[in-house]
Amino acid sequence: MRILSSSSAQFRCRHTRAGKYKSTKTQNFPLTYEMAQKPWHIGVRKSWLTWHTSNIEGFNKRQPYTAAEDEIIRRLINGTWHQLFASELVIKRRGNLIIIAGIVERKIATAKMYFLIGYTEELLSLLLKQPVKMELQSVADKKEMIMDLNFHPIFRALRVAQLDVDDLERSIEDTALDQYKKVLESASISDTNALKPEFLAILRCLFWFYSIRTHDATLGQRMMGVFYENFSFKGKVWHFALTILMPYLRSQSEKLAAFLSNHYFLADAMVKRFLHYFDITLDILDLINYLLFLNRGNYRNLVERCLQLQVVYKQKPSIGDADFSSMSRELFWHASADLMALLIPFLQLRRYWQKIRRWRNKIRSDREATTISEETEHPNDEDKTEKSIDSEGFEIKLDNVERRKFMRILEHKIKCAICLKLPIIPCHIGCPHVFCYYCIAAHKEENASFSCPSCDHSRLFTLLIEDFGVKGVEVEEIYDLQSSIEGPVYGFILLFKWLEGGRRKRRNSKFELATGSTVTDENLVNSIFFAQQSVMNSCATHAILSILMNRDDILLGETLSQLKTFTAGMDSEVNNGSTNMPTR
């Protein structure tokens, strides 16, 4: 059976009831976890004090001696371990063994603490004629072992949250100012900045009254879930003066300087100089405070630092669960953007745009030709002729149909075929259309086989053989011999200008064939197709036909295949003129 002792556990706490500790009103004697538990929790929660045999039945006759020994132990340890114990000194007896337990602060070196433990155990063992053992635990600060059942952990607001608060409040003020300007503009008031400082002061007063005064937090802080910790009424008054009155006075510095110079006989220049240096000082202090805020994470502005206002969370901030769907969407988007950025430079978008424009121009030209033919067949009853005077004074008569046709052609010819604007540094590529120098240079740099988007000039021969049905063959009018050859090359066409009456210059050498030497194999000669030119300015066309007809690995199409089959058994003299025969 156990009984509870009514003796005081500490010398200065004589009125403390056994098994129940009280915390003082000034909170200078905080309770530990063991002390804060209820008496009936001995052996359940108060396990640190349960193994104590001094109150067991049979040992109660020795209580006066136990109290005297406890007092000696407490006084000795209080002098030896001066201001090192963070908790009360607990003395436990287990038969003949005395155990001294407690929590000490780590204020001295570890070697010194071990020396004090050995010194205390040896001295008390010799003094009390009993074995004494010390069981100690250490803490860095006394506040770490305080038990508070109403304790709520404080989580200081992050830097990004405090910066977001400033952005939100600034956005709210900007929105209110925009509405204020719209109201003034609707009222036909031109000077919208006349009452701007007063409007801002009134607006901030309203915000302060419905946020700081009642909720200890600004509007932006309420949105972010943070507030000012331990915000007293006096601090709120100072906050009102520093955040509302002082900015308003700074905005009215010129009027304030004039008022002080008129009523207090101060020099206007001196007052303005003082206010100017005062503003510079505040800006410098604000910059220093911002750097300290980035380093330490507290006191976002000078007002919070002057009033010692800590911004804390209302609830413990929690890290949200990862939304893998949104993460996958973001990863897919970034991967697609990178892929597009990689592939777009390889796509010849201008080439496809030229094909679209060429198709549109073809449709437009067909439509205009149809319209002109209809106007020619069915002229209007209006005046069919229009008089105009040329530069030499001669009168020229054009009917409306011819005039509209001429204007369409002229408008089409004088514009750049690429940008459809008046050409800057006009140039051409052999077709009737005009181009800007920059447009044609940029397109030539991007695509060497550039063709006119209106008439497809550079692909003239390619379109010609495509009309015959030839597939897989493309003709390049200008070929760079230094560039690498991609794909098979069926032949080269070298065009020279022949001058009639020119002298033929030939040099006799050992490599020149003897005079009168000819090819005697008629089968070989007859198997070669060579188109004879009989029409002016068609040499390139005949040369292309000669190359195509002498290749067996090219799909010639129906027309050229029939021609090749038709001329297969003919001799070279008849074969050469086959391209000039009339069609059926």
> What's domain 33-145's architecture?
2-Layer Sandwich (3.30)
The answer to whether the CB of 226 falls within 8 A of the CB of 157 is yes
Question: How much is the pTM?
Answer: 0.36
Check whether 146 has a pLDDT greater than 90. no
The whole-number pLDDT of residue 566 equals 73
The whole-number pLDDT of residue 117 equals 92
Does 462 or 387 have the greater pLDDT score? 462
The CATH code for residues 349-455 is 3.30.40
State the average pLDDT over residues 561-578.
67
Torsion (CA) 181, 183, 186, 187 in degrees, nearest 10: -110
Q: Express each pLDDT in 500-553 by its tens digit.
A: 555 454 444 444 444 555 556 666 666 677 776 666 666 777 777 777 777 777
> Do the strands 97-105 and 132-139 form a parallel or antiparallel pair, or are they unpaired?
parallel
The whole-number pLDDT of residue 392 equals 43
The whole-number pLDDT of residue 67 equals 79
Q: How confident is the model at residue 154 (pLDDT cuts 50, 70, 90)?
A: confident
Tokens for 119?
């010194």
The whole-number pLDDT of residue 522 equals 64
Check whether 393 has a pLDDT greater than 50. no
Task: Please identify, in words, the CATH class of the domain defined by 460-502+514-584.
Answer: alpha beta
**H and E: helices and strands count for the chain:** 20, 9
The whole-number pLDDT of residue 482 equals 61
Q: How confident is the model at residue 120 (pLDDT cuts 50, 70, 90)?
A: very high
Q: What is the mean pLDDT of the chain?
A: 72
Does 564 or 197 have the greater pLDDT score? 197
> 151-160, 359-368, 509-518: lowest mean pLDDT where?
509-518
The answer to whether the CB of 556 falls within 8 A of the CB of 469 is yes
Q: How confident is the model at residue 4 (pLDDT cuts 50, 70, 90)?
A: very low
List 136's β-bridge partners, or say none. 102
Q: Express each pLDDT in 395-446 by its tens digit.
A: 444 455 555 555 555 555 678 878 878 888 887 665 667 888 888 777 777 6
The whole-number pLDDT of residue 551 equals 74
Check whether 3 has a pLDDT greater than 50. no
> Do the strands 90-94 and 97-105 form a parallel or antiparallel pair, or are they unpaired?
antiparallel
The C-alpha atoms of residue 312 and residue 157 are separated, in whole angstroms, by: 5
Q: Express each pLDDT in 298-316 by its tens digit.
A: 888 999 999 988 898 887 7
